[in-house]
Amino acid sequence: MMRGKIALAILCLMLVYTAKAQQQDTLYFTLDEALQYAMEHSFNSKNADIDLHTSQKKVWETIASGLPQVDASAGYTANLNLPVSLIPAEFVGGEPGTYIPVKFGQDYNSNFGFSVSQMIFDGSYLIGLKSAKIYVDLARNAKEKTNIAVREAVTSAYFTTLIAEEKMGIVKDNLLNSEQLLKEAKAYYENGFREEQDVEQLQLMKQQAENEVIKAEREIRVSKMVLKFAMGMSVDKDIQLKDSLQRFIQPIRTGAALTEKFDYTQHIDYRIQETQVAAQKSLLSLEKVSFLPKLNAFYNYQKTAYSNEFNVIAADWYPSSMVGLQLTLPITYSGARTSRINQAKLELEKAENEQLQNIQNLQMQYLTALTDLESAMDKYKNDKENRSIAQRIYHKTQIKFNNGIATSTELSQNETQYLTAYSNYLISILQLLQSKVNLDKAEGNL
């Protein structure tokens, strides 16, 4: 007896520990928490962060190109065969008309030194600094655009999972109800108060309800997998949602409630296009400054040693140095630079036209999203009412069936009607929520 109690206690402890371990392995998220997790773990968001950091490094690279540049050099040369020169023999008291071979230099020489150069004026450098900052703005805008896409994907997947879980609750309730009706029908049939057809019809309804539960379970698994993928979470982890559908439905406003004026300048697509226009202006300026001169300063210092011995270090070292300015002034253009300037002007004009087109497109997207939201709200209200009506009809038919007034066929038809109405209601909720997401995105508030 004592051993049995001990074994039972150990079993209970193991079950409690397993339940706690499973609970710890399960992650619970509100939508806001899921979005925050995605910003930190989504692969797309991580890559956008890397691109932004790379662009910031590019700015420093551009700045550094205008700072003093210092180079050091060292060399060691062993002349296997020194060059031979011929000099007239009379230079050294020899016979006129003859030549004497002479080698100039020594077998070994070595040198080391350094040079410093500093840009004094270069118009392209100044434009390059401005362009580098524009490049950072492009990367920053691209990062925000990526984060918006991630938030949109996570939000849509979160809503889809909530809908799937809501559907699961309905089909499970329907299965329990079908099981109860079947149980009662069998009891009535055994006592001669029901026909066999009623029992078979209810058996069929029960099996259909079981199939719907299995289908709903699969939909939940798939929707959670999509959500975890959008969040950047391992698909092996378990996830549970903490929010309810009503939290998102109730705050939705439509019609006259939407009095806020649309400001397209706050939209990410407008800001991206605006930065692209700035980039084209910078390219045009870069082509224009190519006509300007460039001025650089430099300083060189070097020491050289010569010897017929391998160890040149011990020989005498002779220093040399110079300082100067170098001016580069373009003279002949041959029309190439003028052509590049004209091309840059055309590209700028094209970018400005695209910006105007983008403004109109953003306004159209906003009005379309606003209309879609109002339509989705109307459909949601109608489907909600239809669901309530179908539910009342189904419950009344159940009462009639239990009292022998309605047939099992009528009950089955009304059950199908109720489930269809409820399914349409859930679809309208998802459409309403997605329409709100689309409106937020069109407004630039996602």
pLDDT for 355-377, tens place per residue?
Answer: 999 999 999 999 999 999 999 99
How far apart, in whole angstroms, are the C-alpha atoms of residue 263 and residue 271?
12
Pairing of strands 238-241, 26-29: parallel
Q: What is the pLDDT of residues 186-211, one digit of tens each?
A: 888 888 777 888 888 889 989 999 99
How far apart, in whole angstroms, are the C-alpha atoms of residue 339 and residue 169?
70
How far apart, in whole angstroms, are the C-alpha atoms of residue 170 and residue 206?
14
Contacts (Cβ under 8 Å, ≥6 apart) of 149: 44
How far apart, in whole angstroms, are the C-alpha atoms of residue 89 and residue 98?
5
pLDDT band at residue 134 using 50, 70 and 90 as cut-offs: confident
pLDDT at 23: 46
Q: What is the pLDDT of residues 230-288, one digit of tens each?
A: 999 988 889 999 998 989 988 887 665 555 678 888 899 999 999 989 888 888 888 88
Spatial CA neighbour of 228 closest among 165, 166, 167, 158:
158
Q: What is the mean pLDDT of the chain?
A: 85
Q: What is the pLDDT of residues 39-87, one digit of tens each?
A: 999 888 889 888 888 888 888 877 787 778 888 989 888 888 778 888 8
pLDDT at 401: 86
pLDDT at 387: 93
CA distances from residue 251 to 144, 175, 248 in whole angstroms, order as listed: 26, 33, 6
| The most confident of 23-27, 97-101, 318-322, by mean pLDDT | 318-322
Q: Is-contact 321 129, C-beta < 8 A? A: no
Contacts (Cβ under 8 Å, ≥6 apart) of 380: 249, 425, 428, 429, 431, 432
How far apart, in whole angstroms, are the C-alpha atoms of residue 371 and residue 353?
27
pLDDT at 256: 54
Give the bridge partners for 218, in sequence order: none
∠ Cα 310 315 318 (to 5°): 125
Contacts (Cβ under 8 Å, ≥6 apart) of 126: 289
Query: Exposure of 218 by Cβ count < 10 A (0-12 exposed, 13-18 middle, 19+ buried)?
Result: exposed
pLDDT band at residue 21 using 50, 70 and 90 as cut-offs: very low
Length of the chain: 446
pLDDT band at residue 19 using 50, 70 and 90 as cut-offs: very low
Q: Is-contact 280 344, C-beta < 8 A? A: yes
- Range scoring the smallest mean pLDDT among 129-143, 232-246, 330-344: 330-344
How far apart, in whole angstroms, are the C-alpha atoms of residue 309 and residue 132?
54
- When pLDDT is averaged across residues 18-28 and rounded to a whole number, the result is 61
Q: What is the pLDDT of residues 403-435, one digit of tens each?
A: 888 888 888 899 999 999 999 999 999 999 999
How far apart, in whole angstroms, are the C-alpha atoms of residue 399 and residue 262?
53
Task: Give SS3 for 427.
Answer: helix
Sheet (strand 294-307) strand order? 69-78, 108-121, 294-307, 317-328
- When pLDDT is averaged across residues 332-360 and rounded to a whole number, the result is 85
Q: Which domains does the chain have, with CATH numbers?
A: 68-121+296-328 (2.20.200), 145-236+244-293+329-443 (1.20.1600.10)
Residue 7, pLDDT above cutoff 70: no
- When pLDDT is averaged across residues 121-130 and rounded to a whole number, the result is 80
How far apart, in whole angstroms, are the C-alpha atoms of residue 430 and residue 360?
28
Q: Is-contact 51 70, C-beta < 8 A? A: no
CA distances from residue 377 to 248, 348, 420, 428 in whole angstroms, order as listed: 13, 43, 19, 8
Spatial CA neighbour of 54 closest among 114, 143, 113, 136:
136
Backbone angles phi, psi at 89, to 5 degrees: -65, -30
The encoded tokens of residue 34 equal 């899921």
Percent of the chain at pLDDT exceeding 90? 37
Predicted TM-score (pTM) of this structure = 0.78
pLDDT at 57: 83
The encoded tokens of residue 421 equal 């109405």
Task: Give SS3 for 315.
Answer: coil
Task: Give SS3 for 195.
Answer: coil
Contacts (Cβ under 8 Å, ≥6 apart) of 76: 108, 109, 110, 312
- When pLDDT is averaged across residues 383-407 and rounded to a whole number, the result is 90
Give the bridge partners for 325, in sequence order: 297
More confident residue, 160 or 56: 160
More confident residue, 6 or 110: 110
Q: Is-contact 104 85, C-beta < 8 A? A: yes
Residue 1, pLDDT above cutoff 70: no
Residue 88, pLDDT above cutoff 90: no
- Residue indicated by tokens 């600094």: 129
Helix segments in 303-335, DSSP class H: none
Spatial CA neighbour of 201 closest among 185, 216, 219:
185
